[in-house]
Amino acid sequence: MERRTFEVPGTARGRVDRFVADRSGLSRSYLQRLIAEGRLTAGGRPLRANATIETGMRLELEIPDPEPLDVAAEPIPLDVVYEDDDLLIVDKPAGLVVHPAAGHPSGTLVNALLARGTAYGGIAGVRRPGIVHRLDRDTSGLLMVAKTDLAQQSLMAQLKARRVRKTYLALVRGAVSAAVGRIEAPLGRDPRNRLRMAVLPDGRPAVTGYRVRERLGGWTLLELDLVTGRTHQIRVHLAAIGHPVAGDPVYGTGLSRRGPEGLDRLFLHAWRLELVSPSDGHLVRAEAPLAADLEAVLEDLRRSAGAGRPTGPLRAAR
């Protein structure tokens, strides 16, 4: 059993679960389970997850010893783009769920990771070894995985401080007028459909930057900087400005939902990651080119639009 203590400074505000998650590096969902078990106290009194922190509070958290891992290793192929002693970065294919959950007990990225025989950080919970962030099931691209607890804490802290640069590629419906833009719109659960996210006045702050990379008739290829990392952020933000992501079955409508000819999945790809090495502070940079099926869609659009752009796989701008 591990015990941690947290002092609430005068500048802190908000819910106790968010405060402790930020300070501890634990995932909020795992922390909420500990709170539900009565393991977070103040003055010996158990707290609720939504309790409001107060200046000078002394919070005590009990973290139980890790449970035996109940997730099976499965020989699912993984494309490892980068690896060192601290972490690995994988190029996740569309359709692969990141970790086991209700409805997906197996066949996930975590099952594939366990089959590699590598140790991973454990502070996010027994069913999420090494996981520090997620990609939607239908989104392809780069995902970081921590090999140690210290690396996991470092990567979570970098994500919290917005020091990890995450750049995506998305094909969207319509002609995006501004060559460069920034979307700032708070996000939360859609009150009419809890499976969706929506722009809400009282939602959590969310920021997405974008640059037009290519105009292709009735479609636009964008580079997107994910400044914050809210659930479905890019998809909701782009739909909110009238340019939903091609092939999006949740936030798209009509032609945007179907996508251009030949597209049979969401055209959203986590293309580039830049972060600081947890061990020595050097810059780690990884890129994953678009998969062949997405490149083929772009080539068809170029031919149809007479774009006159060079053909071949999309490469990074230097």
Q: What is the pLDDT of residues 93-118, one digit of tens each?
A: 999 999 887 677 789 999 999 999 88
pLDDT of the residue at 52: 93
Q: Could you give the percent of the chain with pLDDT greater than 70?
A: 94
Burial of 305 (0-12, 13-18, 19+ CB in 10 A): middle
pLDDT tens figures, 199-211: 999 999 999 999 9
Q: What is the mean pLDDT of residues 176-184?
A: 97
Contact by Cβ (8 Å): 261, 246:
no
Neighbouring residues of 78: CB distance < 8 A, sequence distance ≥ 6: 90, 109, 112, 113, 116
Token pair 């053909």: residue:
311
What pLDDT score was predicted for residue 308? 46
Tell me the mean pLDDT in the region 150-158: 92
Give the mean pLDDT of the chain.
90
Mean pLDDT confidence for 282-298: 97
Query: Model's pTM, two decimal places?
Result: 0.79
pLDDT of residue 71: 82
pLDDT value at position 262? 96
| Nearest-angstrom CA–CA distance, 187 and 205 | 7
pLDDT exceeds cutoff 80 at 311 = no
* pLDDT category of residue 28 using cuts at 50, 70 and 90: confident
Q: What is the mean pLDDT of the segment spanning 215-230?
A: 96
Q: Which alpha helices (H) appear in 50-138, and where do they start and end?
A: 109-114
Verify whether residue 136 is a known catalytic residue.
yes
Supply the pLDDT for residue 21: 83
What's the average model confidence in pLDDT over 140-162?
93
Q: How far is Cα 228 from Cα 117, in angstroms, rounded to an integer?
A: 32
Cα Rg of the chain (Å, integer): 21
Task: Give the pLDDT band (50/70/90) at residue 307.
Answer: very low
Q: Which residue has the higher pLDDT, 154 or 125?
A: 154
Tokens of 155: 């990567």
More confident residue, 25 or 196: 196
136, 202, 264, 293: the catalytic one is: 136
Angstrom distance (rounded) from CA 287 to CA 15: 36
Q: Are 181 and 210 in contact (CB under 8 A)?
A: yes
d(CA 219, CA 9): 49
Mean pLDDT within 243-256: 96
What's the pLDDT at 199? 97
Q: What is the token pair recorded at 196?
A: 């969706």
pLDDT at 30 over 60: yes
Neighbours of 284 (CB within 10 A): 17
Place 148 in a pLDDT band, splitting at 50, 70 and 90. Answer: very high
| Predicted pLDDT at 251 | 97
* Helix (H), strand (E) at residue 153: helix 149-160
In order of start, what are the domains of the chain with their CATH numbers? 2-63 (3.10.290.10), 80-160 (3.30.2350.10), 165-305 (3.30.2350.10)
Q: Can you tell me the mean pLDDT for 24-52?
A: 89
Q: What is the DSSP letter of 298?
A: H
Contact by Cβ (8 Å): 34, 48: no
- The band of 317, judged by pLDDT with boundaries at 50, 70 and 90, is very low
